[in-house]
Amino acid sequence: MPNIIEVNDLKKTFGSVEAVKGISFSVPQGATFAFLGPNGAGKSTTIKMLTTLLRPTSGTILIDDHDPARDPDAVRRVFGIVFQDPSLDEDLTAWENMELHGVLYGISRGTRRARISELLAFVEIDDRRDSYVREFSGGMKRRLEIARGLLHHPKIIFLDEPTLGLDPQTRKRMWDHLGMLREREGITIFFTTHYMDEADRNAETIAIIDHGSIVASGTGEDLKRQTRKESLEDAFLELTGHDIREEGASGLDHLRMMHRMRGR
């Protein structure tokens, strides 16, 4: 299988801080790839660079043979994304959120309607299509975001901690959906998570990033063998150490607080 994501010596510095220090990796088409690391290791920064939201300081990225820095719109058509923080418009209905996405991606009216109906049925929220998103549970919002991310038939779907805050039932349901999708469409799945069992169970390839560098990569079995540990969780701790990463409370945290308090 050819590689759909190719990253070479990718760097990102913010002022004097090197958030990503020259990482290289590739993801074959149709694979499920887990990108793991402690908080502040450089995961989100890397995803932002892959998805055209942040410009790399140096290094190259190829997404389906397009460079996000040079041809962002070509890259944007190739992927769908579920962000870590919810990005639905809560004051619109499920259907309207999907509709908006379809219009922005230039999908014609007839195709749009058919695909929205089909996808809402696929994630099992078709009976709530005309409800406002603010009335949805966390799990329903996640499923709607996944459905939305798939609307323009992307080749890759990025999921940034998609199961954060979901109960085991909902998590399992979500991965069942994603598994079906892989079989049906051969879509490439790129995800991050803090649940090691989730990575071990679902990903063919895992890369672990820490302090801005990739410290290990391979299958779950590879990583366990390499570290001589029984579980991926232990292997992860062996590779990234036991220190708890203290992130200073940033302006972003305050905003996130406010946002939660407003109940959105």
Partner 1 sequence: MLRTIWIMWLCELKKFSRSRSRIIGSLGQPILFLLALGYGLGGVFQAAGQGSYLQFLAPGVIGMAIIFTSIFNGVQIIWDRRFGFLKETLVAPVSRVAIMLGRTFGGATVATLQGCIVFVLTLAFGFHPYSWAFVIPAILVMFLTASLFSAFGITVASFVTDMQGFQLVLNFLVMPMFFLSGALFPLTHIPLLLRVLATIDPLSYGVDGMRALLINAPHFGIATDVTVLLAIMIAFLSIGSYRFTKLEF
Q: Using CB under 8 A as the criterion, which residues of the chain lie in contact with partner 1 when the complex forms?
A: 48, 51-55, 72-74, 76-77, 79, 81, 83, 85-89, 91-92, 96-97, 100-101, 103-106, 148, 251-252, 254-256, 258-259, 264
Token pair 């992307």: residue: 154
Nearest-angstrom CA–CA distance, 168 and 205 = 23
**216 φ/ψ angles, rounded to the nearest 5 degrees:** -165, 150
Token pair 């049925």: residue: 121
Nearest-angstrom CA–CA distance, 259 and 264 = 6
Residue 45 backbone zone (phi > 0: left; psi -120 to 50: alpha; other: beta):
alpha
Output the smallest distance, CB 86 to partner 1, in A: 7
Which whole-number Å values give the CA distances from 133 to 147, 149, 166, 211, in the listed order? 14, 16, 17, 37
Closest to partner 1 by CB, 52 or 193:
52
Closest to partner 1 by CB, 52 or 240:
52
Closest to partner 1 by CB, 27 or 98:
98
Closest to partner 1 by CB, 54 or 207:
54
Output the smallest distance, CB 220 to partner 1, in A: 30
Output the smallest distance, CB 242 to partner 1, in A: 30
And the tokens for 139?
A: 């799990």
Closest to partner 1 by CB, 28 or 86:
86
Output the smallest distance, CB 132 to partner 1, in A: 8
And the tokens for 248?
A: 């200073």
